[in-house]
Structure 1
Amino acid sequence: MTNPSGSQGDEPLVTVPVSGDNGPDNAGSYRIKPPAGASVPASSTRWVMPGETVDIEDLPIGRGFFYVGDFRRGRPGPVDACVIDTGAQVAQEAADPAADIGIVPPGYATLSGEERRTYIEWLASPRRKPDIHTRYLFLHLFGFERRVLIDGAAGKVSEAEYGEMTRELQRMLNLDADYSWQRHVRNLLDFIDLMAARTGKVYDQKPPNGSATGYQVPLNVRVAFGQAALDRHPVPAGWALAWVKLDPMMIRRAAVARCPDEFDRVFMRRYRERFHEGMLVPVNRTRLNVLPQPAFKALQNVPLPGFLLGLPDVAAVTGPRNRLQLLMNESADALGAFSRYLARNPDAYGSLEATLMLPPEVWPDATRDAISALASEVADTTTVITFGALFARFKAMGTLTRDRMASFNAALSQAGIAVEPDVRLGARTPKPDDAVALFAAPATAALAHTDDAYVVATLMVDLAAAVATADGTASAAEIALIEREIDAWSHLEPLQQTRLKARNLVQLAQAASSAGLKKKLEPLPAGVKKAIACFLVQTANADGTVSREEVKLLEKIYRMLDLDPQRLYIDLHQGASAVSGPGGARAPGARRASVAVKPGERASKDAAPEARSAGAGLVLDTTRIAALQQETARVSAILADVFVEEQPAVPLEEASNARESVAPEDLEEPEEVVPAPDALLGLDDAHSTFLRLLVSRPSWTRAELADAAADLELMLDGAIEQVNEASLDHWDEPLTDGDDPVEINQDLAQRLAA
């Protein structure tokens, strides 16, 4: 007969049946000590890892993660309830796997032979939930808990094995939706993280990822913060992010869940900007309860490793959490437009339109790679392509609004890529067929300096390009002359000169509209108008031939400049003479100019002094221009109005569509807020935090609770009274009992957890 009582540490005894005087029915059992020197063999209990196959009752089990032993010559102790006893009877037929075994807590020794067969068959299977009742799952979980809390605490579990157990437990987590099952598996996963970091600091380990569950901040997060507080070590950004994502009492905007990857990057970046190496957390009075609370009752009082003792519970104070809440709100606000856009266009994730609503520092890698490749291509040359071709290099779903185009250009500028024309300088929003020039520029989001002199220079370049292409295609000589003149305008900054050259290439590739040109030229002083005319004549004469198309266009421009068109032919002939060298000899490689003159007309030998001086090489006298502009305030006002390209009128239908697609994400509307869990029992924030602490342990000393109340700036007796009143309102029972120690009603704690 086997004695069922006792524990593994009891003195070994032998039980011998003895017949009484009244026959075998009245036989008693007497415990007799074994003879001196005799010993009871220890059981062969051991942990089986995946990869090792164990045959139990003709069933090979190769998936591991269970204890096996033989208790035929010894007695199992309380912690051996999870061990498969190879000496125990197993039936040939299994019980219904979905039937409740009705044993709380379950143990292998207490199962019937049929139930043992059911459990062993499940262990030999892929171990999925539809095949087994939840109580069998808990029996299997007991083995994991023993391995971690006993063998792990003794240093018998390697880091690699912890990793294997973590992966298996994460798979098992969703085998059952039962709250108790999920809570105990999560608790064990948290404790595995702690045990894996037993030789160092938890805050130096990789922080957990996931979303908030239950009503407590996960144990490993609180340990990391507690260790950082004791060590006066800055809390790393990853652990701060883990707190805001895993604390169920945090209030979360919709962006946190709708665009989690972007939120993580924005939060981490802003956290480092705000706290640099990390936030310093003060040491508070409340001690952290690190008891693992396993489902296996026999393990509930196992001793804790020393590195988990004496830590402050940062969850007991509101200061650090409030700072993290504020930073989380700011990070979510930065993603508000992006989040709302995705809510309306869920398939737009990764598109250029969606990306442009993000802070540039968190753009997707694909967009960053495309920009980097583009920067390499334009590093040594100016590239002219259509906007549609540029657009095709990025994942785009439609046209960009003017604001989004400005954001796009700013992002390119930060990568050292300048765009001409640039909507930020007053250009209209390009269409897919419009030509744009890309060129290298200093990496900055700031715009190049512009003034009235630069605006006049853009007019001159546009007109010169129009003259050069009037007969079809600009010649190399005409292009070279325009670029030389731009280089000679020393009153402009180098970046302005580079942009003008890019502008010239765009205009040569696609002539600009002359709409509104007269209005822009009208307020210019007469001296500037004459200088523009001389520059255009030089351009027409650059290749030695002035075509009829060029003459026709020049006549039109002269009229816009309020210059006599008849004077054009004088200027053309004098411009042709400028192509030749001194004394009438032609410059090397130059052809004699041929001017298309109207029949019956002769060019005058006299030329205006301004034209002759300009023919020798155009120099824009900015001092003179400034003096003329300062003559009246009216001229300055006109220049400010006309030196910006007017936006084309938008049809009503197009404008309506634009408003529908653009306005919502640009409106200053508040970002949606994901409702936080209701305040516990309707209590305010401080008392809810106090309640969360209360139910984390079965009992408290009054001194411990006094420290917790002080951390929250609460009066202890008043806080307990308020919590109990809320409990009475909800459940007709108080939550606490006693004064010192203060006992916590575990039934109510379970209801709160559920």
Structure 2
Amino acid sequence: MRPGAGINLAGYDIVGGLLYVGTHLAAPSGHRVDPALINPSLPVDLRQPDWGGRGLDYWPSYSDIPPQSRAAYLAWLADGRRFPQAPIGFVFLYFYGLERRVLYDLQRDRSTAAIELPIIHQEVRRLLAIYGGQKAFKRYVGQFEQVLEILAAGAPERDPAPAPARDYPPPLRLRAGLGAFAAQGAPVPAEWALTWIRSHPDYYPRTPATRCAAEFDALFLQRYAARYGQGLVVRPGRKEVTLDYRPASAGFRGVAELTLPGTPDVLSYAAPTRKLIALADECTTDLEAYSRYLGRVPDGQSSVQAQALLPAELVNLSSGGAGQAIAWARHRLGAQELAVVPVGEFSAFISSPQEAKPVKKDVVALAQVLGRAGVGIEPDPRLGGAVLTSGSMVLFAAPGGPTAAASDAYQAATLLLHMAAAVSAADGDFDEAEQRHLSDHLERALHLTAEERRRLHAHLRWLTVTPVKLTGLTRRIAGIDTAQRQYVAEFLGPSLSSRLRPRLPSDRFP
């Protein structure tokens, strides 16, 4: 009976259609009458309706249930198929007809499928809302819904990707959607590729992909788009998507295998799956340091230390500890190229109850975060600078990003500055003329890059506000070559050298 049709059976006016009514209808298996068929010629006992469903067995059939049970079943249908306390056997008996229509009749004649499938799907959802508390019914209907979603689906590019699931076999909607992309020669969107890899039985996610699931997903989506543009295009093969669906109705006698004609089973293809697994492994590896940190500090996602460990694509410079530190640094700099700030203000962004003083790895973390925002620090532990616990430090504009490593020339230049500042300040007066002499020379010193020159200016500014000592210079001088030592000596000049000579033993500096 078509959707919405009405009929009177045994005195009951039943409206809504979606029923099989007649004297004979073979089950799909061909061995019996279909269980869902309502045969009007069979007796109905209206005097003693079986409201409790005592006459129903595990696989009820309308032709086999007692007349009292038929009376109660027809009353339930006439009432709108909605009474919450109805025996679940009545609901299954009605559901058998929906299964048959979708899995058998409409597979042989699809002329009305476009009209009927959405209506049947809506009816199944309605039944699930009322009777979903029954586990067996919910299980069968959940599987049936997957079939309906695929058979009634439109173009997959207009549909959101299904949620990942570690079921076996993988979700039918995923397999059908990927197959549709391949059949059309269309690229697989990033969200579908993510569900593909997260649902594939051959992919075993490592800890970062589970502990940091949101970060993994975001990184995978970005790198997939960067690598494949609009998406990976999969060449269709011969194998088509099939589903082994086990109907609730005994009329099918076991499994009903459905094949989606013209829909290749992309999820079974090894080559594209290997590409996605390689990308997933790459994302996992780049999240390992961040994951290990969260393993030690589970609620530390917004800390500077955690954000510094994220891959560059995931760093949000406007939120969390990173955002606060960057806002502070930009406020301190204002329109200046350099700004002297208390070390305590800097350390406040990385301090923790477990560590009273900042440690090198945390200072490096904050330096990395600030560097991504175009702000450098001096001294910088990444380039051999000290880890300060008090005093002052310098922020400076570093639009080129952080210097990756200290070059030999830069090491020589910082040594020169340190020595010159120490000697010039020996009389308690590092005057502006001496600072200008050093600053002017930086523009042509040792073939430094523009980034190194900016950093060296910041280092000089830090030296001017910091008590400078000559201790430790022997080790630093030993680290530069003879030509650079000669350059340092020549630059110090007669005036500075004369002030240096009385304070150092002659055998310490050749």
Task: Indicate the TM-score class for this superposition, using the shorter chain for normalisation.
Answer: 0.5 to 0.7
Distance 1:392 1:459 in 2: 32
Q: Secondary structure at the match of 1:436?
A: strand
Give the one of 187, 191, 205 matched to 1:252: 205
Give the counterpart letter for 2:180 in structure 1: Q
Alpha-carbon contact 1:145-1:296 (below 8 Å) kept? yes
Q: Is the 8 A contact 2:416 2:488 kept in 1?
A: no
Q: Tell me the distance in 2 between the aligned counterparts of 1:298 and 1:167.
A: 24
In the superposition, relative to structure 1, how do residues 191 and 520 fare at CA in structure 2: closer, same or farther (>3 Å)? same
Taking the aligned partners of 2:348 and 2:157, their CA distance within structure 1 comes to 45
SS of alignment partner, residue 311 of structure 1: strand
1:424 corresponding residue in structure 2: 382
Cα distance between partner residues in 1 of 2:461 and 2:433:
11
What's the secondary structure of 2:309's corresponding residue?
coil
Q: Answer whether contact 1:95 1:115 (CA < 8 A) is retained.
A: no
Alignment of 1:282-681 (within 5 A): 282-289=235-242, 295=248, 309-363=261-315, 366=320, 369-370=323-324, 373=327, 376-377=330-331, 378=333, 380-381=335-336, 382-393=338-349, 402=360, 405-406=363-364, 408-431=366-389, 433=390, 435-444=392-401, 446-447=403-404, 450-452=407-409, 455-460=412-417, 463-464=420-421, 478=431, 482-483=435-436, 485-492=438-445, 493-517=449-473, 520=476, 528-529=488-489, 531-532=491-492, 557-560=500-503
| Secondary structure in 1 matching 2:264 | coil
Name whichever of 328-337 and 420-429 sits farther off: 328-337
Rounded to whole Å, the distance in 1 between the matches of 2:127 and 2:391 is 58
Counterpart CA distance in 2 for 1:90 and 1:488 is 111
Q: 1:464 to 1:344 in 2, by over 3 A?
A: closer
Deviations 1:353-404, CA, capped at 9 Å, x for gaps: 3333332322365356446635744463223334443343469675665456
Over 3 Å counting, the alpha-carbon distance change for 1:467 and 1:222 in structure 2 is same
Aligned to 2:27: none
Q: Secondary structure at the match of 2:395?
A: strand
Deviation at 1:442, TM superposition (A): 2.5
Q: Is the 8 A contact 2:377 2:394 kept in 1?
A: yes
Query: Does the alignment pair 1:44 with 2:15?
Result: yes
In the TM superposition, what is the alpha-carbon distance from 1:250 to its structure 2 partner? 2.6
Q: Aligned residue for 1:574?
A: none
For residue 214 of structure 2, give the secondary structure of its aligned residue in structure 1. helix
3-state SS in 1 of match to 2:241:
coil
Tell me, in whole angstroms, the C-alpha distance in 2 between the residues paired with 1:426 and 1:526: 22
**C-alpha spacing 1:519/1:291, structure 2 compared with 1 (3 Å):** closer
Partner of residue 30, structure 2: none
Q: What TM-score results when the alignment is normalised by the length of structure 2? A: 0.67
Secondary structure in 1 matching 2:382 = helix
**Cα 1:110–1:316 shift into 2, 3 Å:** farther
- How far apart are the structure 1 equivalents of 2:252 and 2:188? 32
Alignment pair present for 1:235 and 2:197: no
User: In the TM superposition, what whole-angstrom CA distance separates every residue of 1:198-234 from its partner, at most 9, and x where no partner exists?
Assistant: 1xx2144221223312x11211111122112112222
* Structure 1 unmatched ranges of 5 or more: 1-6, 17-39, 47-66, 72-76, 82-87, 126-130, 538-553, 564-634, 640-754
Verify the 8 A CA contact 2:218 2:314 in the aligned structure 1: yes
Amino acid at match of 1:153: A
- Aligned CA distance change for structure 1 residues 139 and 341 (closer, same or farther; 3 Å): farther
| Higher CA-based Rg | 1
In the TM superposition, residue 285 of structure 1 has moved relative to its aligned partner by 0.9
Structure 1 residue 139 displacement after superposition? 7.6
CA contact (8 A) 1:409 1:418 kept: yes
CA pair 383-148 structure 1, distance change in 2 beyond 3 A: farther
AA aligned to 1:329 is D
Q: C-alpha offsets along residues 287-323 of structure 1, whole Å, 9 cap, x if unaligned?
A: 22368766467899xxxx99x6421112343333233
Equivalent in 170, 175, 183 of residue 217 of structure 1? 170
SS of aligned partner of 1:427? coil
Query: C-alpha displacement at 1:495, in angstroms?
Result: 3.1
TM-score (normalised: structure 1): 0.48
Which string of whole-angstrom CA distances, capped at 9 and with x for unpartnered residues, describes residues 495-521 of structure 1? 333223322333344434543135556
* 2:176 match: secondary structure: helix
What is the distance in 1 between the residues matched to 2:131 and 2:470? 72
The code of the aligned residue for 1:441 comes to A
**How far apart, CA to CA, are the structure 1 residues paired with 2:281 and 2:14?**
58
Q: Provide, for residues 27-59 of structure 1, a one-character-per-residue CA deviation record: whole Å limited to 9, x for no partner.
A: xxxxxxxxxxxxx9995318xxxxxxxxxxxxx
Aligned to 1:289, what secondary structure does the other structure show? strand
Change in Cα spacing, 1:488 to 1:525, as seen in structure 2 (3 Å) is closer
For 1:393 and 1:167, how far apart are their aligned partners in 2?
A: 54
Q: Deviations over 1:134-154 (max 9, x none)?
A: 768868988998999999831
Secondary structure, counterpart of 1:429 in structure 2: coil
Instruction: Please tell me the residue identity of whatever aligns with 2:399.
Output: P
Distance verdict in 2 for CA 1:395–1:320, change over 3 Å = farther
Q: Hey, what's the Cα distance between the residues in 2 that align with 1:497 and 1:355?
A: 28
After TM superposition, give the deviation of residue 123 of structure 1 in Å.
Answer: 6.2
Structure 2 residue 223 is the aligned partner of structure 1 residue 270: yes
Q: CA deviation at 1:423?
A: 1.7
User: Using the alignment, how far apart are the partners of 1:483 and 1:168 within structure 2?
Assistant: 85
Letter in 2 for 1:258: R
CA distance, structure 1, for counterparts of residue 401 and residue 504 of structure 2: 38
Report the alpha carbon displacement of residue 276 of structure 1 after superposing the two structures with TM: 3.4
Alignment: residue pair count: 459
Counterpart residue identity of residue 492, structure 2:
I
Counting aligned pairs with the same residue, the percent is 23
Partner of 2:160: 206
2:149 to 167, 192, 212: 192
Per the TM alignment, residue 264 of structure 1 is displaced from its structure 2 partner at its CA by 1.1
Alpha-carbon distance in 2 for matches of 1:216, 1:530: 77
3-state SS of paired residue (1:235) = coil
Name structure 2 gaps, 5 residues minimum.
Answer: 22-33, 39-44, 107-111
Counterpart-to-counterpart distance in 1, 2:82 and 2:226: 51
